Structure formats: C-alpha cells, structure tokens
Amino acid sequence: MSVWPAIWLTLQLATVTTVILLVISLPYSWWLATTKARSRPLFEAITALPLVLPPTVLGFYLLILMRPDAPFGALFLKVTGETLAFSFTGLVIASVVYSLPFAVQPMQTAFRSVPQATLDAARTLGASSRDAFFSVSLPMASRGVVTAAVLSFAHTVGEFGVVLMVGGNIPGKTRVISIEIFTAVETLDYQTAHVLSAWLLILSLAALTIVYFFNRRGGTRLG
C-alpha cells in the first residue's frame, strides 16, 4: 500500500489551512485582545467550541452545511459545479473551523501581553492604529504568531473525526494520514499503521518542542 498520496494530501491540507488561519486569526485575535465589547465572551466561547465539542458532532453539522441542498453547499455547487462535501475544499473549510482556537488563542494571549504604555507612546509619536499594530504589536507578539502557526499545522495533520465526517475516505482525494492509519488497522496492515503513527508522533513531539521553546523565551502561553 502506497502511503505517499495520503502524506502529500495531509501536508497540502495542513499548509493551506495554516495560511488561511493566520490571515483570519491575526485581525480577529487583535480584536479579541483589545475590544471592550460586552459580546467578547460569546465570541471567545464560539471560537473555543471545537476544543470541547466532539469532532464527529462538529463534522456532522459541517457536513449538513455543505450538502448540495443546503444554501451554502448549493451556492458552492452553482459557482464551481462541484459538491463541497467529500472534496479537498470541504476538508479545508472543516480544518479551518476545527483548528481555529489553536490559532486564535496563542495570538490573543500574545497581543494582550503588549504593554498599553508602549502603544500609547507610539500613538504619541504620531503612529496611527494601523502603524502601531504593524510596527509595535505584531513584532512584540511574534512568538504568539509562531506558536499559532505550529499548533495549527500540527493539529490539522492529526485530524480524524472531522475530516472523516466531511471528506469520507476517498484515496488520493480526501484520505489523509489519520484515515490512512485507520484503514491500515482495519485491513490488519499494522506495519503501515505503525510507520504512519510513528511519523505523526515525531511530528507532534517536534511541534510541541518548538512551542515550549518559544514560550520559554517569550513567556507566551496558550489560553
């Protein structure tokens, strides 16, 4: 059994998901860290929901959302001519939703740690809010951004329940590493399952080592 298609597909999915999450989470995390809106706890709870919600439940509702007869799924079908469920695009959307807290929370914590006095000084010197963000806040929160990127990538690589519900088990199209391991065990191919599981174990250990290394240097914590 060739596992390279699953490995390549997983790396593609994790890379695309991480890039999208960084683009979305940077402004969103900044808003959560600085807003005084009373609705902030609600947005924080919604963002953290994938941490406590069973992946199969989240995957089920995403699958319902992506059905061809659902408004969102029907719109995608009309624009692209393809169904959203059981597709790579569907996997990306599900992965972004499922890994969102792993991107938002480290960056939100990092932005909160930026001293308000430093931002006030930047504005006193004539910096706009946008200038203060890019020249002060973002550089000072860089360790949180790195942590978010590493955690998002590693978490996406290890996904199972959500991607199985949304993408199924289509070789070369939606069969990622975690599903490849499940398939190998089902067919009693324990050697393949062992090799892929060991690869994921090493990747997870490396990702956590990087995260704790940056946390130790910068004092950024997840949560």
Q: Which tokens is 120 given?
A: 């006030």
Evaluate whether 62 touches 161 at the Cβ level (below 8 Å).
no
**Whole-number pLDDT of residue 89:** 94
Beta-carbon contacts of residue 113 (< 8 Å; ≥ 6 apart): 140, 141, 144, 219, 220
Per-residue pLDDT of the chain (223 residues; tens, 9 = 90+): 578 899 999 999 999 999 999 999 999 999 999 898 999 999 999 999 999 999 999 999 999 999 999 999 999 999 998 899 999 999 999 999 999 999 999 999 999 988 877 777 877 777 777 777 788 888 888 889 999 999 999 999 999 999 999 999 998 899 999 999 999 999 999 999 999 999 899 988 998 898 888 777 654 444 4
d(CA 77, CA 147): 36
CA atoms within 13 A on the CB side of 6: 29
Query: How buried is residue 178: exposed, middle or buried, by Cβ count under 10 Å (0-12/13-18/19+)?
Result: buried
Beta-carbon contacts of residue 180 (< 8 Å; ≥ 6 apart): 3, 6, 192, 196
d(CA 171, CA 189): 16
- Cα radius of gyration rounded to whole Å, the chain: 20
- Please give the model's pTM, rounded to 2 decimal places: 0.88
d(CA 189, CA 205): 25
